[in-house]
Structure 1
Amino acid sequence: MVQELHDRLRGQVREKLGRDTEPTAGVIDSQSVKADAVIGSDGRGFDGGKLINGRKRHVVVDTLGLLLGVMVTAADTGDRTAAHILLEQVTDARHRLALIWADGGYTGSLVEHCLDAFALVLAIVKRSDDMRGFVVLPERWIVERFFAHLMRTRRLVRDFERCTASAEAVIYWSVILLMRRRPARSRPAQA
């Protein structure tokens, strides 16, 4: 139910901003967050890359930074493994989606799988060799900004939910609140 409310509101926000209600391009990424003590060992994992014991949020956002799909897993779940399921869910619901940008963690057979199974181009955006430090690439800053918005919601700084469905619902509610504020800011100022 919360996802349906979210999807309707996202369509309205896209229309107010002069876009079609359904996007044709998006960005996929994941974020590891620490899990609270109430989460049992069956719902948490250790992300060796980020050194975080908790959960991982896999999201697909459109080019405006609006959420298209979310899946919460244990932090030890690989990005490619979760992307198989999440991209299937997103493409089933969004028939116009044709292009997804991703980072190097989504390489391999997933690129061919997306093209064959979903008629979806998964474009891997890589850093050039001369870049040093943390650099957000132009195609991927949208999803990084989305994660920053999530972290401004106090309840999402750490995962407190016992089940992953509840964790996903909290993310949808946070994004709904964000979208409710967005149209108000996009209006021109009156003199």
Structure 2
Amino acid sequence: MRAAASVPRATSGYDGGKKVPGRKRHIVVDSLGLPLAVVVTAAPVTDRDAARTLLARLRERFWRLTRVWADGGYTGRLAHVAASAWRIALMVVKRSNDTTGFVVPPKRWLVERTFAWRMRSRRLARDYEARTDTAETMILWSMTMVMSRRLTGRRC
């Protein structure tokens, strides 16, 4: 008997030559690690394509934002597009060549910490949602619980 897949076939595909059933989550956080914008895409969508949607949402909601730090997956012409279309300076944080082992690049730990907080929500441990917009809502809902716990003084 075969287990049912939790991710619909329409949102699975290839990423980097490997078959990847699932989704990619792209998120912009503030300096506290709280989400400003979230985009969930199918696995075959490139980071740069998803970033265009993410930056457009970010500019729509936070029109005074001028600088965003990004992972190395967001390199290329995206920095020029961000500057010309949305007046956002996209600063790509790359890994240093002289580091050995696992080292989180500067600024990247903010996003990694947010993803760790998100994984505390049992619902987000797997892809239960059939639609990407519902998955985005679940991420924001999970972070709302983190923020409300902070307001009440409870530990996350």
Answer yes or no: same fold by TM over 0.5.
yes
Task: Report the CA distance between 1:91 and its aligned residue.
Answer: 0.7
Partner Cα distance (1:150, 1:41) in 2? 24
Question: Match of 1:185, as an amino acid?
Answer: G
The equivalent of 1:76 in structure 2 is 44
TM norm structure 1: 0.74
Structure 1: which 5+ runs fail to align?
1-35, 187-191
Q: Is the 8 A contact 1:44 1:55 kept in 2?
A: yes
Question: In 2 relative to 1, CA 51–64 (structure 1 residues): closer, same or farther, beyond 3 Å?
Answer: farther
SS at match of 1:87: helix
Residue identity opposite 1:166 in structure 2: T
DSSP-derived class of the 1:68 partner: strand
TM-score by length of 2: 0.89
**Per-residue deviation at 1:55?**
0.8
Structure 1 residues 117 and 156 mapped into 2: Cα distance closer, same or farther (>3 Å)? same
Equivalence for 2:60:
92
Q: What aligned pairs does 1:119-138 form with structure 2 within 5 A after superposition? A: 119-138=87-106
User: Does the C-alpha gap of structure 1 residues 49 and 154 become closer, same or farther in structure 2, counting only changes over 3 Å?
Assistant: farther
User: Can you list the C-alpha shifts for 1:140-191, whole angstroms capped at 9, x where unaligned?
Assistant: 11000001111111111111101111111111110110100112339xxxxx
Correspondence for 1:62: 30
After TM superposition, give the deviation of residue 49 of structure 1 in Å.
Answer: 7.7
1:148 maps to which residue? Answer: 116
- CA RMSD in angstroms comes to 1.8
Question: Following the alignment from structure 1 to structure 2, what is the Cα–Cα distance between the partners of residues 119 and 127?
Answer: 25
Matched, 1:157 2:136: no
What are the residue-to-residue correspondences of 1:1-16 with 2, within 5 Å?
Answer: none
Cα shift readout 1:4-25 (whole Å, capped 9, x = no counterpart): xxxxxxxxxxxxxxxxxxxxxx
Moved over 6 A (4+): none
Percent identical among aligned pairs is 50
Give per-residue Cα distances to partners, 1:2-53, cap 9 Å, x unaligned.
xxxxxxxxxxxxxxxxxxxxxxxxxxxxxxxxxx714321122333388742
Distance in 1 (CA, whole Å) between partners of 2:21 and 2:104 is 24
CA distance, structure 2, for counterparts of residue 129 and residue 155 of structure 1 = 38
What amino acid maps onto 1:84 in structure 2? R
Residue among 73, 97, 101 paired with 2:69 = 101
Task: Choose from 110, 116, 135 the match for 1:167.
Answer: 135
- Aligned partner of 1:22 in structure 2 is none
Tell me: higher relative CO, structure 1 or 2? Use CA pairs within 8 A at least 6 residues apart.
Answer: 1
